[in-house]
Amino acid sequence: MTTLLDGKAFAARLRLRVAEAVTELTAAGGPVPGLAVVLVGEDAASQVYVRSKGRATREAGMASFEHRLPVDTPQSVLMALIARLNVDPTVHGILVQLPLPEQMDTAAVIAAIDPAKDVDGFHISNVGLLATGGRAMVPCTPLGCLMLLRGALGSLRGLDAVVLGRSNIVGKPMAQLLLAEDCTVTVAHSRTRNLADLCRRADILVAAVGRPGMVPGDWIKPGATVIDVGINRVSDGQGGSRLVGDVDFDTAASVAGAITPVPGGVGPMTIACLLANTVTAAARASDLPEPAGLGL
């Protein structure tokens, strides 16, 4: 009865579309889209994502540039790298992997990225464009979630959506996108009262909290569409580890109408949307028509 929203399969189709769009763009005289990923420090999970981003970028026919800086890099060195990437004509997208080490002023680093190359959609100019209905670079994770929701539901008009989490990178932009789809949106956070009752009213529940299995099945309205953004590494009880979401999948899956798994749900969509945003940025940079099927 429950539909499994297979983000891995959806993302594979989107990556094929990205590869086609790269071919279209270059055939029209455009550049090979290039994505620069900057990783400061040695965080193990971040290294995994950066490697898979690089692989996916090359598989789509795009150029991948990786910049690894030591954990104690001064902010001025990172700023100088961003300044170079901003003016490098072979680079159309810049992603600075977050979180940054604590000596860095994250807001200042994001502000230094050329908004036209800000494929994460984190620069205030893109945040403002998203909030006001303009031509923004849309943050990859919320964009991927929206694609899965549209695939599951078609129109989202009039539906009650609850977003758990209010971060700048997931919760807030997710709420903006759902609002633009004519949902009635509630954003919940650590100070929200009666979270369970609030969630039970949601036709669409997006969980982006970072707490393993926090949302049990009895918080979910029967038939609701559940998007689990959480990526939490927990012990598997046998000396190893495994990834789980913010939703308790086993109890939720029997109540939800549709639900994303972790892994294999939102994560692969994030990477596919990053590639899509990079192609869009490359098309805009060369004043060529934006290939269809890459964004909203």
Ligand X SMILES: Nc1nc(=O)c2c([nH]1)NC[C@@H]1CN(c3ccc(C(=O)N[C@@H](CCC(=O)O)C(=O)O)cc3)C=[N+]21
Residue nearest to ligand X (CB): 267
> Does 97 contact Mg ion by CB under 5 A?
no
Query: Is 166 known as a binding-site position?
Result: yes
CA–CA distance, 154 with 151 (Å, rounded to integer)? 6
Name the minimum Å distance from CB 196 to ligand X.
Answer: 26
Tokens coding 163: 């977003």
Strands 93-96 and 160-164: unpaired
Q: How many residues form the binding site for Mg ion (CB under 5 A)?
A: 3
> Does 33 contact ligand NDP by CB under 6 A?
no
Is residue 53 annotated as part of the catalytic site, yes or no? Answer: yes
Strands 241-244 and 232-235: antiparallel
> Does 294 contact ligand NDP by CB under 6 A?
no
Q: Which is nearer to ligand X, 33 or 268 (CB)?
A: 268
Query: Is the peptide bond between 263 and the residue preceding it cis, with omega within 30 degrees of 0?
Result: yes
Encoded amino acid at 245, one letter = G
> Does 209 contact ligand NDP by CB under 6 A?
yes
- HSE, side-chain direction, 13 A CA sphere, residue 279: 30
Tokens coding 87: 């003016």
Q: Which is nearer to ligand X, 140 or 220 (CB)?
A: 140
Is residue 117 annotated as part of the catalytic site, yes or no? Answer: no
Is residue 197 annotated as part of the catalytic site, yes or no? Answer: no
Query: Is 113 known as a binding-site position?
Result: no
> Does 141 contact Mg ion by CB under 5 A?
yes
> Does 189 contact ligand NDP by CB under 6 A?
yes
Helix crossing, 7-27 with 44-59: angle to 10°? 50
75: number of Cβ within 10 Å: 17
> Does 263 contact ligand NDP by CB under 6 A?
no
Residue nearest to ligand NDP (CB): 167
Strands 204-207 and 63-69: unpaired
Q: How many residues form the binding site for ligand NDP (CB under 6 A)?
A: 25
Catalytic residue among 97, 172, 176, 221: 97
Encoded amino acid at 176, one letter = Q
Name the minimum Å distance from CB 141 to Mg ion.
Answer: 4
Q: Which of 115, 74, 68, 70 is nearest to 94 (CA)?
A: 115
Three-state DSSP at 205 gives strand
Question: Phi first, then psi: what are they for 128, rounded to 5°?
Answer: -65, -40
Q: Which is nearer to ligand X, 61 or 267 (CB)?
A: 267
Q: Which stretch binds ligand NDP (CB under 6 A): 18-26, 30-38, 164-172, 198-206?
A: 164-172
> Does 141 contact ligand NDP by CB under 6 A?
yes
- HSE, side-chain direction, 13 A CA sphere, residue 188: 21
Binding mask 168-197 for Mg ion (x = CB under 5 A): -x----------------------------
Buried b (16+ CB within 10 A) or exposed e, 146-162: bbbbeebbeebeebbbb
Name the minimum Å distance from CB 156 to ligand X.
Answer: 23
> Does 113 contact ligand NDP by CB under 6 A?
no
Catalytic residue among 53, 117, 172, 221: 53
CA–CA distance, 93 with 117 (Å, rounded to integer)? 4
Query: Is 155 known as a binding-site position?
Result: no
Positions touching ligand NDP (CB under 6 A) are 141, 164-167, 169-171, 188-192, 195, 208-211, 229-232, 266-267, 270
Catalytic residues: 53, 97, 120
